[in-house]
A and B are shown apart, each in its own frame.
Chain A
Amino acid sequence: MSASNATSHASGRETTEGTVYTVTGGDWDEVVEQAAKSDDERIIVNMGPQHPSTHGVLRLILEIDGETVTEARCGIGYLHTGIEKNLEYRTWTQGTTFVTRMDYLTPFYNETAYCLAVEKLLGIENEIPDRASVIRVLLMELNRMSSHLVALATGGMELGATTIMIYGFRDRELILDIYELITGLRMNHAYIRPGGLAQDLPPGAVDQIREFVKKMQKNLPEYDKLATGNPIFKGRMQDVGYLDLAGCMALGATGPILRSTGLPHDLRKTDPYCGYETYDFEVPTADTCDSYGRFLIRLEEMRQSLRIVEQCLDRLEPGPVMVGDKKIAWPAQLALGPDGLGNSLDHIKKIMGTSMEALIHHFKLVTEGFRVPPGQAYAAVESPKGELGVHVVSDGGTRPFRVHFRDPSFTNLQAMAAMCEGGQVADVIVAVASIDPVMGGVDR
């Protein structure tokens, strides 16, 4: 790897387009210096798929001229796990355990979108208990904050701002503690089920969330102090990753990217679900079309989410969290046992000892699942990244015939080329961070 041996990390290969040198390893300055000697040659840089600033396993293929990116392409699929195919071999209820793993930073959105679509197919949208909808909104808004916190934290870290990273993960941890209390898990919850929720909020959850809201109201201004007015932060982010409204529409970009162009498009307002029309909140926008605008929008959205969370807590009324239809709702009564959460022993005793029909029903519903009338449905929610749409098709069986997720990360990532080409290599990192792609969602 010494400078004297210039060929040690560049091997030549003849191709139809002329000699191609593959350069790996070595000191970047040396590589650039050598490249500068033959400035009429194209240099293709592979960033990733194992690069720390590419949000998982994203591969960026950059064609550069000096420090300028002339062409940028994404290579994706490194995290493809075939979830959509797998769903076709499980029951509709088991589906939630799969979809929650897609975009692993927004599990409650995946679950809710999927469940809304299944409920639409079942025709039970209007029978979902209020309490279940309120808890769904509550969890989704907490999830919006935890997702945005990761976006801010990793985005800051990629700029070299480690303080904001520590702060972001500190606050996210508070939210993950709430998830853990409510669902038992920090991620991959499978808590929201077709028809309602797996179980009600545990004792103490409301108090812990109230405490969190108080703490978060104190912590949120810290991000402003750290970053919003920070000249380095602004210098790195302003006018970087530019994508205007026409570009967003053409490329299908939604979420903070679209709202940074000034269009207040938010499905919670334009196509409300789960009763969002009854909550009081604003849709923040910016008119800068750049990474800085998206950063400001994410910050403001967290404040709005806090407002919604407070409203949810105020309107939580006791009641069922699952539809009354016993053909859909799992009969299980969950309780905390010595080996974790599971079927309540009292319930098992009752159905085993007193009601053979209940036992059969329980067994059939859990092993076989419920049938969903044939047809197709599309349900969309406003995830922290944009429009998360679910297209489900049923053939009348107990398993989905087809489930397709329109993941916002997947669609928004297409805009990477439009944001990065013509810019600096260092700005690619900022632009990708402002898209906030999560490869679990992109590749599914």
Chain B
Amino acid sequence: MSESNNGNNGNKSNNGNNNGVNPEKDLGTQNLPGQRGDHGEEIRVQRGMFGANNGGDTSGYGGLVRSVRLPGASSRPYGGWFDEVADELEGALEEQDLLPENAIEKTVVDRDELTFHIAREHLVRVAKTLRDDPALRFELCTGVSGVHYPEDKGRELHAVYHLRSITHGRLIRLEVSAPDDDRHVPSLVPVYPTNDWHERETYDFFGLIFDGHPALTRIMMPDDWQGFPQRKDYPLGGIPVEYKGAQIPAPDQRRSYS
């Protein structure tokens, strides 16, 4: 990717500082698609521009290759109360003879939000610690949100929890991932009973199986529904519509710019 950009930059007279400097980091990133540079964590490689890969592309954008990167792990200090929470959590896990680096895969601080990526086998223990430790006291779980990253091999399905501490007025995020061929995540219902319906919803939409859930059944879709609609490989559906003589394709068939 960087070679092709260097080639382009060579044509521009006003950009002569690309020797030794990654031009991707120097360009005004707000005008460019996606996060540039090599920082962060790659979740996907995007090819082309408009989602169309059949037919002749005369724009030149069809050859575009860029990696899509989410914010990666942060290093200390995280800033604000984030360090305090991280210290307390690590200390509390150590007290339970659980090495924090085994439980917490990485810690991400992005946009003033603290995210702990937790190894799924330790999720329940970590959540219980977060809820019960007096210095942490995340009493309220606001449920689970599933995210499907189809090209993030080995960690396709994510379950994202937001925990709120009313005592300390804090909000953190827990994230666990599961590979697509082993879609199991332990259920948090024993720790946060509110997750009962939320986990059913995430199961219903993503096929994530929450082990230990009291009754993991579909909640929104009909009981005999096939497939998991919110997964990225599940089509939106829809039919083309004729408008003023032109056929307007269904939303998921339209040209996209992502």
Find the residue from A80, A84, A271, A378 having the highest chain B CB count within 10 A.
A378
Mark contacts of B162-190 with chain A using CB atoms, 8 A cut-off: 1 yes-contact digit, 0 otherwise.
10101001010100000000000000000
Chain A residues whose C-beta falls within 8 Å of the C-beta of B70 in the assembled complex: 374-376, 395
- How far apart sit A193 and B33, CA to CA, in the bound complex (Å)? 21
Interface bracket on B: 35 or more
B33 touches A371 (CB 8 A): yes
Chain B residues whose C-beta falls within 8 Å of the C-beta of A254 in the assembled complex: 140
Chain A residues whose C-beta falls within 8 Å of the C-beta of B252 in the assembled complex: 89
A271 touches B230 (CB 8 A): no
B31 touches A396 (CB 8 A): no
A389 touches B142 (CB 8 A): yes
Q: Given that A397-B256, A398-B258, A410-B197 are known contacts, is A85 also in contact with B236, CB under 8 Å in the complex?
A: yes
**Does B40 touch A at the CB level, under 8 Å?**
yes
A377 touches B196 (CB 8 A): no
**Does A251 touch B at the CB level, under 8 Å?**
yes
Chain B residues whose C-beta falls within 8 Å of the C-beta of A77 in the assembled complex: 218-222
Chain B residues whose C-beta falls within 8 Å of the C-beta of A404 in the assembled complex: 145-146, 160
- The residue of chain B having its C-beta at the shortest distance from the C-beta of A396 within the complex is B34
Q: A185 → chain B, closest Cβ, in Å?
A: 22
Say which residue of A327, A391, A410 sits within 8 Å of B162 (CB atoms): A391
Q: Given that A265-B166, A406-B162 are known contacts, is A374 also in contact with B219, CB under 8 Å in the complex?
A: no
Mark contacts of A361-402 with chain B using CB atoms, 8 A cut-off: 1 yes-contact digit, 0 otherwise.
000000011010111111010000001010101011111011
**Does A120 touch B at the CB level, under 8 Å?**
yes
What 8 A-B pairs are tightest by C-beta distance, nearest first? Answer: A397-B258, A252-B194, A396-B34, A404-B145, A89-B251, A77-B220, A80-B220, A391-B145
B236 touches A406 (CB 8 A): no
Q: Given that A270-B169, A371-B33, A377-B111 are known contacts, is A90 also in contact with B251, CB under 8 Å in the complex?
A: yes
B258 touches A411 (CB 8 A): no
A374 touches B145 (CB 8 A): no
Mark contacts of B58-76 with chain A using CB atoms, 8 A cut-off: 1 yes-contact digit, 0 otherwise.
0000000000111100000
Chain B residues whose C-beta falls within 8 Å of the C-beta of A232 in the assembled complex: none
B194 touches A368 (CB 8 A): no
- How far apart sit A377 and B112, CA to CA, in the bound complex (Å)? 9
Say which residue of A86, A252, A375, A389 sits within 8 Å of B110 (CB atoms): A375
Q: Given that A249-B140, A395-B258, A397-B256 are known contacts, is A377 also in contact with B113, CB under 8 Å in the complex?
A: yes
**Does B9 touch A at the CB level, under 8 Å?**
no
Q: Given that A249-B139, A397-B34, A410-B197 are known contacts, is A76 also in contact with B111, CB under 8 Å in the complex?
A: no
Mark contacts of B93-112 with chain A using CB atoms, 8 A cut-off: 1 yes-contact digit, 0 otherwise.
00000000000000000111
Q: Given that A82-B229, A398-B258, A401-B147 are known contacts, is A378 also in contact with B35, CB under 8 Å in the complex?
A: no
- How far apart sit A374 and B254, CA to CA, in the bound complex (Å)? 22
Q: Given that A252-B142, A265-B166, A377-B113 are known contacts, is A371 also in contact with B194, CB under 8 Å in the complex?
A: no
Chain A residues whose C-beta falls within 8 Å of the C-beta of B30 in the assembled complex: 327
